[in-house]
Chain A
Amino acid sequence: MSRRTKIVAALVFLGILHGLAIFAGFLAPYPYAEQHREFPYAPPSSIHFSRLQFLVHGRLFGAREPGVIFLLGSDAYGRDLFSRLLYGGRVSLLTGLLAAFLSLGLGLALGTVAGFYGGWLDRLLMRSGELVMALPWLYLLLAVRAFLPLHITTVQAFFLIVVIIGGVGWVRPARLIRGVVLSARERGFVLAARGFGASDAYLIRRHILPLTLGVVLTQATVLIPQYILAEVALSFLGLGVGEPVPSWGNMLAEAQQYHALVAHGWMLAPGLAIIPVLLGYLLLADTLLESRNQ
């Protein structure tokens, strides 16, 4: 497969996976919090098309009343796991994207400043980076969470996680970008533009930032899956968004009981859902790295 095909394939694949989460409101047969108390831990339903109805209540499909459909079974409260998986993907995938965006934004700004101006500013930024790298972010998050009131809203919890994961992760992209900028500022065309009286802002915008694009893209494909996994881990520990809002992590937390593992295996679905997402990003990252090394 050519490199281009691989990249397109990975992008399409990831696009579909993200699309499933984005259009959860349409694709999921039930709202994420709807309970069917009479069906706790129902196993995955077999599909009978005669009992299905399509495009009702603004959703792609649903079961004819009074029937129910649980494509991936249901949880302790009789909530449809398939629906929760799609809605949960929203939280998990969006955390990855936003946190990576934050990390790369910070990394790009600080790395460019450090590499371009050098001197004491460079030393200050890189030493602070090392300090941040040494921070145990899990304990940082625990400390911040302990400091905040017990009940914070879902949105607050979401942004707290994004800010902490993303805010701690800027160092690696910053270092890589600094390296690119450091060599870019000595390139002949940068010196030439400086010779024409170009301002620092012009040099950075027109000549230097375009050169960092490769690093930024590869870092994005490496950081996003890493941060998705971080969100899942944090929500699993109960530090992320709380019930009833699903995320792959807090759904897995429910599956950690013994009975779920031995008798209700479908509860592990969120754990399996992460795998294709990570594989998609890894394929993209690998292919991009390969083409950059050529």
Chain B
Amino acid sequence: MAVDPFLSVRGLGKSFAGHPAIQNVTFSLERGRTLGLVGPSGSGKSTLARCLALFETPTSGEIWLDGRNLCGLNRRERAAMRADIQIVFQEPASSLNPRFTAAEIVTEPLLIRRLGTGKTRRQRASELMETVGLPREALQTPALEFSGGERQRLAIARALALEPKLLILDESFAGLDLSVQAQVANLLLDLQERRGLTYILISHDLAMVWRLAGEIAVMDHGSIVEHASVADLLARPQHPLTRELLDAARALSLDGAPA
């Protein structure tokens, strides 16, 4: 492991009204890698994601991204840092304003940050649509008229508009049919290869996680209980919860989970 990793989280904790949602979370991640974050509901995965995306202020601990400490930034610095970290939410439908057109959605981050002119933004909109494999003709279509998978692509296209370094996918595949999941997964792998993006993938779907992720962190009761490479985790699960999750996944899978 390098001395100064791309993302380093040290002793992170967040409490809501005195109740800890995550505590003492420590891990690091290299640039261009994917970390899968798994665990039962309520184990603090989403809280961790929201802290990393600077939506929540951690109660304790530090987040270092690319040599900069994200905790203890003032409002303005935090707003600037947000360009580097993007999150794609659980439900793409609710994260897109149904009144907006595809063009308005994917260029919204640029508009908010007053980047470029109307003309360059329109140009960027068609590039982004192409990147995520949506037809350019759909730019003027209202968000309401897209299918679930297309909305997910729109959400990813929007997240890519600011050229982030870290992309957090919080249950972004839930509710999509399998062929669309596969398409989006391929899209993500392709983007990672071309742009060196770093992903944190939160999912209940272990098959998806070991398809995309190089390493997996298992969370339970607000802490990371096991963190290993995918191969190690599948071969030698240490924590009882990890074993439980793997057994459950194998039981559900028709042809047996890859091992």
Contacts and interface: CB of A to CB of B under 8 A. Distances in A.
Interface of A: 187-189, 191-199, 202, 207, 210
Describe A's contact surface by its main secondary structure.
Answer: helix
Contact of B112 (A188, A189, A198): A198
B80 interface: yes
B53 A195 contact: yes
B112 A193 contact: yes
Contacts of B123: none
A193 B108 contact: yes
B96 A189 contact: yes
A196 B94 CA distance: 16
B236 interface: no
B217 interface: no
A196 B95 contact: no
* Interface size, B (range): 20 to 34
Nearest to B88: A192
A44 to B, nearest CB: 53
B112 A192 contact: no
B55 interface: yes
A196 B113 contact: yes
13 contacts: A188-B91, A188-B94, A189-B95, A189-B100, A192-B89, A192-B95, A192-B158, A196-B109, A196-B162, A197-B82, A197-B83, A197-B109, A210-B99
Given A188-B89, A188-B91, A202-B112, A196 B82 contact: yes
Contacts of A202: 112
Contact of B55 (A191, A193, A207): A191
- The 7 A-B pairs at the shortest CB distance, nearest first, are namely A188-B94, A188-B95, A196-B109, A197-B79, A189-B97, A198-B112, A196-B112
Nearest to A190: B97
Contacts of B94: 187-189
A194 B83 CA distance: 11
B202 interface: no
A292 B7 CA distance: 47
B86 interface: yes
B87 interface: yes
Contacts of B100: 189
A195 B82 contact: yes
Contacts of B79: 197
A196 B111 CA distance: 10
Most chain B CB inside 10 Å of its own CB: which residue of A195, A196, A198, A199: A195
